[in-house]
Amino acid sequence: MTFETINPSTEEVIQLYQEFNEKQIEHCIETAHGAFYKWRKESFPYRAELMLNAANILTTNKEKYARQMALEMGKPLQQGLSEVEKCAWVCRYYAENAEEQLRDVHIQTEAPHSFVTFQPIGIVLAVMPWNFPFWQVFRFAAPNLMAGNAALLKHSRNTMGCAILIEELFKEAGFPDGLFTNLVIGSGKVAGVIKDSRIMAVTITGSTPAGAEVAAFAGIHIKKTVLELGGSDAYVVLEDCDLETTVQTCVTARYINGGQSCIAAKRFIVVDKIKKEFEEKFTKLASTLTFGNPLEGTFNLGPMARKDLQLEIQTQVESSVASGAELLNGGEFPNQTGFFYPPTVLTNVKKGMPAYHAELFGPVAAIISAKDESEAISIANDTSFGLGAAVFTRDTERGLRIAREELQAGCCFVNDFVKSDPRLPFGGIKQSGYGRELSPFGIKEFVNIKTVVGK
């Protein structure tokens, strides 16, 4: 089978890739397996030295990597540069902290010696998406390599060039051959890789159906999984918020990366008292956002990554409008080449509409009214997803109470948009998945938490 990557700004074919055959896949797994048994014995300072090399390579070549993202999935260059810098950050974070995070924990018992040690488990397979083609990979790779594991990457077909650059980067940084390997395979061959006895765990970032399929197959073979899946993040906007700042934050949260993010703001639940003013200010600001080919100018939005995604978001908008939602901005295909979609705003969104229930994976904002705080929280939690959420209020204690006790999500922010940070655990609940990435919690997901007792 041959894969093709298409420039979403021009609709031109960039590159063709031949899918790995079974012999090539076997070679990759066996090489990774051998590399792991040597790597697991390397010291933390040595692992950290190589991880810092990777961080430096990222920083030195960030323009090249940002251009590759712009070419393959349409990310604006400035956002691509920021993504690469964040990858360097996570490399440095784990280089500096992994040894302490995985230090033995001594527990007093009747035995003279009793402690918990954290040991690497082997090869971790990562099934990664196209929307943050560098960050998603480094978010899993940095902690796992520092923990002593090996990594196999199954990246999206449309960002295969990014995957190859990442593999080359780890080799240039000095990591052993095969320790981090990119598998040029489609979804149809993932099950065969998971089944292999040398694969010890699987992590996937993607849609809920894809995550369920991977988890089900991994479960059959007793392989641990971490799932970071879809989201329909709710932003609760209360009557006492700083409206100007709130609107600016919400517009950024919705349209960054073209709205193609699991943790992008999707639903804005606004109390009736300020709803009209909020939607007027939100729509005015959204309408100023520009879109175009990121390699030809400075734009707020690039194209959507694929044609099918462009068609899907249009169908969701049209269906919501047909059910009674009001279109305040955008909502129509622009008359130009490329998979572009304008910044779109829907209001009067209600239960039963795609804009209320579905994950809007594109530049479309859904504004939902609520009579008060209680109803706003109820609407926010009325979703099968539970990745991120935010609340806006001048009363910080009120916001912290709502974030802590009321909002059903893995990551809850007050007066800011949801974002990942190497220092904090990241992940969701409900149909948004399970397990955590990043922070001391993330590095312990794929290690053997081993009890040792000696008399």
- What is the spatial order of strands in the sheet that 344-347 belongs to? 326-329, 344-347, 364-370, 265-271, 233-237, 388-392, 411-414
State whether 324 and 201 are in the same domain.
no
Active site annotation includes 12: no
The CATH number for 396's domain is: 3.40.309.10
Q: Do 272 and 126 have their domain in common?
A: no
Q: Is residue 419 part of a domain?
A: no
Residue 315, pLDDT score: 98
Q: How far apart are the first and last CA of the chain?
A: 58
Mark whether 47 and 185 lie in a shared domain: yes
Asked if 146 and 93 count as a contact pair (C-beta separation under 8 A), the reply is: no
Instruction: Give the model's confidence band at 276: pLDDT under 50 very low, under 70 low, under 90 confident, else very high.
Output: very high
3-class SS letters over the chain: CEEEEEECCCCEEEEEEECCCHHHHHHHHHHHHHHHHHHCCCCHHHHHHHHHHHHHHHHHCHHHHHHHHHHHHCCCHHHHHHHHHHHHHHHHHHHHHHHHHCCCEECCCCCCEEEEEEEECCEEEEECCCCCCCHHHHHHHHHHHHHCCEEEEECCHHHHHHHHHHHHHHHHCCCCCCCEEECCCCHHHHHHHHHCCCEEEEEEECCHHHHHHHHHHHHHCCCEEEEECCCCEEEEECCCCCHHHHHHHHHHHHHHHHHCCCCCEEEEEEEHHHHHHHHHHHHHHHCCCCECCCCCCCCCECCCCCHHHHHHHHHHHHHHHHCCCEEEECCCCCCCCCCCCCCEEEECCCCCCHHHHCCCCCCEEEEEEECCHHHHHHHHHCCCCCCEEEEECCCHHHHHHHHHHHCCCCEEEECCCCCCCCCCCECCCHHHEECCECHHHHHCCCEEEEEEEEC
pLDDT in tens, 154-165: 999 999 999 999
Query: Would you say residue 217 lies in a domain?
Result: yes
- Residue 30: pLDDT band with limits 50, 70, 90: very high
Cα separation of 101 and 99, whole Å?
A: 6
Residues 46 and 105 in one domain: yes
Distant-in-sequence, close-in-space partners of 398: CB < 8 Å, separation ≥ 6: 238, 240
Total domain count, the chain: 2
- pLDDT band (50, 70, 90) for residue 179: very high
In the residue annotation, 228 being an active-site residue is answered as: yes
Q: Read off the pLDDT of each residue in 131-147 and give the average, rounded to a whole number.
A: 98
Q: Which residues, 6 or more positions from 2, have their beta carbon under 8 angstroms from its beta carbon?
A: 16, 17, 18, 19
Same domain, 249 and 163: no
Q: Same domain for 241 and 210?
A: no
Q: What is the pLDDT of residues 414-439, one digit of tens each?
A: 999 999 999 999 999 999 999 999 99
- Is residue 272 in a domain? yes
Averaged confidence pLDDT in the chain: 98
Same domain, yes or no, for 18 and 161?
yes
State the CATH number of the domain containing residue 180.
Answer: 3.40.605.10
Same domain, 315 and 194: no
Q: What angle do CA 422, 132, 217 make, to 5 degrees?
A: 90
Is 183 among the domain residues? yes
pLDDT score at 254? 98
Residue 273 is predicted with a pLDDT of: 98
Structure tokens at 375: 């109803």
The residues with which 106 forms a beta bridge, in sequence order, are 115
Q: Exposed, middle or buried, 323 (CB in 10 Å: 0-12/13-18/19+)?
A: middle
Residue 52 in any domain: the answer is: yes
Same domain, 149 and 83: yes
Q: Within the chain, what is the greatest distance between any pair of CA atoms?
A: 76
What tens digit of pLDDT does each residue of 197-214 get? Answer: 999 999 999 999 999 999
Domain residues for the domain of 296 are 233-384+388-414
In a domain, 422, yes or no: no
| Same domain flag for 301 and 448 | no
Q: Return the pLDDT at 415.
A: 98
pLDDT of residue 134: 98
On whether residue 424 sits in a domain, the answer given is no
Q: What pLDDT, on a 0 to 100 scale, did the predictor assign at position 114? A: 98
Report pLDDT for 170.
Answer: 98
Same domain, 219 and 240: no
The pLDDT value given to residue 99 = 98
The residue-averaged pLDDT of 273-299 equals 98
Mean pLDDT of all residues in 232-239: 97
So what's the pLDDT on residue 166?
98
**Res 153: pLDDT:** 98
Q: What is the pLDDT of residue 302?
A: 98
**Residue 210 sits in the same domain as residue 240:** no
Task: Identify the pLDDT of residue 335.
Answer: 95
Give 321-364 pLDDT, tens digit per residue: 999 999 999 999 999 999 999 999 999 999 999 999 999 999 99
Of the listed 83, 167, 228, 373, which one is catalytic? 228
- What confidence tens digit (pLDDT) does each residue in 400-411 have? 999 999 999 999
Q: Quote the tokens at residue 102.
A: 């995985």
For residue 293, CA distances in Å to 70, 81, 346 come to: 8, 16, 25
- Active-site residue, selected from the candidate residues 262, 373, 411, 437: 262
